[in-house]
Amino acid sequence: MSVTSEDYYEALGVPRDASAEDIRRAYRSLARRYHPDINKEPGAEDRFKEISEAYEVLRDPEKRARYDRFGARSDPGAGGAGGFGGFDGGEDFGGVSFDVGGGDFSDLFDQLFSRRGAGRGSSSEGFSMRGGDLEAVLDLALTEAAAGGRRWLSIDGRSVEVDIPRGVRDGQLIRIPGQGAPGTGGGPPGDLILRIRLRPHPDFRVEGGDLYTDLPVAPWEAALGAEVPVPTLDGTARVKVPAGSSCGRRLRLRGQGLPGNAQAPPGDLYAVVTIQVPKRLTKRERELFHQLADDSKFDPRKRR
């Protein structure tokens, strides 16, 4: 027996001037809600057939135009609802078309259902539903992100082994297949998606794969130049401070940021010059600074 909705637009809950996208969106929402594998309430299967028949007509410009002109039963001899087709009560849903995201009915089943058979009988028979993806945030220390490696996590009361890529970036997603929510009806489980969040580090600021660290230097080191130590992720390096360096000057250490991986090249380390002055001066230091002030013609406020 064919579905007998009096109005296909009413069946989908859209106005008669609805756009194709509005119709597609309405159908997708209703189909997910009333599919017999999801909704076991009485009447859900009939409602699913009704909205599917309505969509089968309204999704096709020619069928929609004929329906708008003549109505659902313009050609009773063509079968179903006015030649637009319908559902034979003994058939499954294998022959229905479904438009989701620019595709058809099969696209939805590719996303939500896996075919287990095409036998006759109940229309919900022969399909299983894939489990949903689970999302979680994984906090890592900067050194852990740099080193990578395997870790065991507790997710929903179970242990999951995660392979963290070396040099993983803040915000990067790691997908672990088959560790999401379980499927229904024998369907496969979903995936676990981890979003990396790097914890603040006392010495480094992170921008992508690059690291920034403050490099304190004395006034005379900034003026005369010097070679000074700078912290790195795995120890200490030495960097040359050019003579005449001012606060904010960035000294680049190539490849000393986060290590590279399959998704990103190695980052760099930037040592940012910050000039420090003694909080307390000895008598000799004070004399020397007074002498410098008297002899120097340098005016930092004078525009060059």
At residue 72, the pLDDT reads 59
CA distance 106 to 84: 19
Residue 5 has pLDDT above 50, yes or no: no
Please give the CATH superfamily to which domain 134-198 belongs: Urease metallochaperone UreE, N-terminal domain (2.60.260.20)
Comparison of pLDDT for 249 and 158, the residue scoring more: 249
Contact 59, 23 (CB under 8 A): yes
User: Nearest Cα to 258, choosing from 145, 163, 140?
Assistant: 145
Tell which CATH architecture fits domain 8-129.
Orthogonal Bundle (1.10)
> Which helix H or strand E contains 146, and what residues bound it?
helix 142-147
Contact 126, 187 (CB under 8 A): no
Exposure b/e, 37-47, CB count within 10 A at least 16 = b = bbbeeeebbbb
HSE value, Cβ hemisphere, 13 Å, CA-based, for 117: 10
Q: Does domain 211-295 have CATH number 1.10.10.10?
A: no
What are the boundaries of each domain within the chain?
A: 8-129, 134-198, 211-295
Q: Do domains 134-198 and 211-295 have the same CATH topology?
A: yes
Nearest 10 degrees: Cα torsion 32, 38, 40, 43: 20
Tens of pLDDT, residues 246-271: 999 999 999 999 999 888 899 999 99
| DSSP secondary structure of 82-111 | TTSB---TT--STT----STTS-HHHHHHH
Residue 207 has pLDDT above 70, yes or no: yes
Tens of pLDDT, residues 66-87: 888 877 554 433 334 444 443 3
